[in-house]
Chain A
Amino acid sequence: MSILEVDGITKMFGGLTALNRVTFKLEEGEILGIIGPNGAGKTTLFNVICGVYPPEEGKVVFNGENITGLSPFKITRKGIARTHQVVKPLNELTVLENVMVGACFGRDYRPLAEAREIAFEILELTGLIDRAELPAGKLNVPEKKRLELSRALASNPTLLLLDEVLAGLNPAEVNEMLEIIENVRKKGITIMMIEHLMHAIMKISDRIIVLDYGEKIAEGSPEEVSKDPRVIEAYLGDPELSLKLLKKRKAEFDAAEGAEKAERAKEGT
């Protein structure tokens, strides 16, 4: 059974169709990447799944249960946690208290004392432990992103929605974050992530969905998706030109690979 089924979701804002009959399934334990140009409806999709916006049409089924239209806090307690693209730290509370909120009110609904223990464990995992007593407002941006992730993890979710956790991080921080995400997946948590950083999402996702103007225009393995002319069009505009560019890049890539092989063969002798 799929952990999440999104079935024909339509979401309108006034005259604007932010999501147009989006349908997909998510299998347990996989990492699903969501990509698409700005304004494609990616974050809106997360907001609909989490219950922040009720959809006009369609339904969201989580673990076989229809959760469409439930209040966000009820959905969180069923085991869906998320991070925000624009971070939302609880500024005046300490980092530890922020994470405790996740554990207190999440799927397990822990009492305060247990939540504190869990928060320490999570902060150890996400590398924020030495910031535990600092007010969350005083963290820098990469730390705030990690705090978002820590808080979501503290609720012990079975499905984790990550909204651009890599944006604004430098390459070293990106690698650290990817490592954390890999570790989360190893714990058996299913992950859905929105990301603009192509090389990262291509590397980590099992499957990718592409949204454009609220519609799902492609779905498949990272390789399939990156070759899809509609995807290339959405990102670059002209499919002809894009294909040419892609071919050129592939030729370059092959050439480089050929050279590398030759190099290795030379070393071997």
Chain B
Amino acid sequence: MKDSLKNLTDVSLLWLLAIIAVMAVIPPITNSITMREDIFLILQYIALAASLNIILGFTGYVSFGHIVYYGIGGYVAFALMYFYGIHLIPAMIAGGIVCAIIAYLLGEAVLRLRGAYFAIATIGINEAVKALVNNLEFLGGSAGLFFNFKIYQNYGGAGNAIWLAYYLMAILAIVVITSNYLIKKSKFGLGLMSIREDEDAAIVLGIDTKKYKSLAYMLSAFFPGMVGAIFFFKNGNIEPVNAFHLLKSIEMIFMVVLGGFGTVTGPFVGSLLYERIRGLLLVNPLFKDLHMAVAGIILLLLILFVPSGVIGYLRDKVAILRRYVE
């Protein structure tokens, strides 16, 4: 970590953070609600995609049901706010920590699996948790929980509460992207990437693969937990169908692969592009129900022809970019 901290002033990270920061301050300056909703969504995508990138992009483990941590974090934070009136920020952090702990425990079992088996197991985890929450009466079962509007009064009214959620999401997106960068530039990241390339070689080279995989999985679960907390706070209600929606998992994978897995800029670019593609398709009467089908076709073509994604491809073809784009 010491090695990578002094890299924080690196151009390839700074321009990326600058873009996100500029993007994030447009809505408050223009005071545009539509813009805020759009950018909130993009920031959420960035945070989710960059979180998944830690386990999928750097470590090479395709966590297919990763949205489970978004749901768990959402439920933990929502319940803390709902039952105990705890403030969003500590509730959000608690959501993240619970996710990391659950990821550690589940990781002990599923991180022994490799390739498709791991992917299938993670889908199973998501579905199992969804079924469990569906049957938990105190969490409202399948109907979920609804905030009493009074909760927002602690934040100075619903309007302010939504702006708070917005700013937190912007900060979180920046934190996750920065953590991606720090991981990539650290010894820890080198170990993770070795595991991605050849796990058997990695362990013989002296890497404690079990510990490293576990840490990567915990980190990549911690952030989505917080994203879920913010999203469902802003949403005002939480129900299992929304919290553990497998489709959102696939969206996350799509964004990481589209942008370029294992890069720092990739998840950011993938999120922007996906939000645009989705927006265009959703308003088009011909495609409005088919946006995931189109995304699926794009994903297939990407994996066949540009497996390294937009950023991976550009870095490969344009040598000068390698200095400015990580």
Contact = CB atoms under 8 A, between A and B. Distances in A.
Interface of A: 50, 52, 71-73, 76-77, 82, 84, 88-93, 97, 100-102, 104-107, 109, 111-113, 115, 151, 155
Main secondary structure of the interface of B (DSSP, over half): helix
A112 B186 contact: yes
Given A73-B206, A76-B204, A90-B198, A104 B190 contact: yes
In the A-B complex, the 4 residue pairs with the smallest Cβ-Cβ separation, listed nearest first, are A105-B206, A90-B197, A76-B206, A88-B201
9 contacts: A72-B204, A88-B200, A90-B194, A90-B197, A102-B206, A105-B205, A111-B187, A112-B3, A112-B187
A93 B206 contact: no
Contacts of A105: 191, 205-207
A248 to B, nearest CB: 44
Given A90-B198, A112-B3, A97 B190 contact: yes
Contact of A72 (B191, B193, B203, B262): B203
Nearest to B208: A73
B190 A50 contact: no
A269 B156 CA distance: 113
B7 to A, nearest CB: 10
A93 B194 contact: yes
A171 to B, nearest CB: 29
Interface in B98-148: none
Given A73-B209, A90-B197, A92-B197, A112 B204 contact: no
A101 B198 contact: no
Nearest to A155: B206
A90 B193 contact: yes
A107 B201 CA distance: 16
Interface of B: 2-4, 186-187, 190-191, 193-194, 196-198, 200-209, 262
A88 B207 contact: no
B204 A111 contact: no
Contacts, number: 79
A106 B203 contact: no
A77 B198 contact: no
Contacts of B200: 52, 88
Given A73-B208, A112-B187, A93 B193 contact: yes
B132 to A, nearest CB: 34
B201 A104 contact: no
Nearest to B209: A73
Contacts of A89: 197-198, 201
Contacts of A111: 2-3, 187
Contacts of A82: 204
A93 B262 CA distance: 11
A80 B205 CA distance: 10
Contacts of A71: 203, 208
Nearest to B189: A112
Contacts of A76: 204-206
A113 B3 contact: yes
A73 B213 CA distance: 14
Contacts of B3: 111-113
B190 A84 contact: no
Contacts of B202: 90, 101
Max chain B C-beta neighbours (<10 A), residue from A91, A93, A100, A109: A93
Given A111-B2, A111-B187, A101 B194 contact: yes
A111 B198 CA distance: 21
A77 B2 CA distance: 22
Nearest to A109: B206
Given A76-B205, A82-B204, A101-B194, 19 more contacts: A72-B203, A73-B207, A88-B201, A89-B197, A89-B201, A90-B193, A90-B197, A90-B198, A93-B194, A93-B197, A100-B190, A102-B205, A102-B206, A104-B191, A107-B206, A109-B206, A111-B187, A112-B3, A115-B187
Contact of A151 (B2, B191, B193, B205): B205
A109 B207 CA distance: 10
B197 A91 contact: yes
A65 to B, nearest CB: 17
A104 B187 contact: yes
Max chain B C-beta neighbours (<10 A), residue from A77, A93, A105, A151: A105
Nearest to A52: B204
A89 to B, nearest CB: 8
A90 B197 CA distance: 5
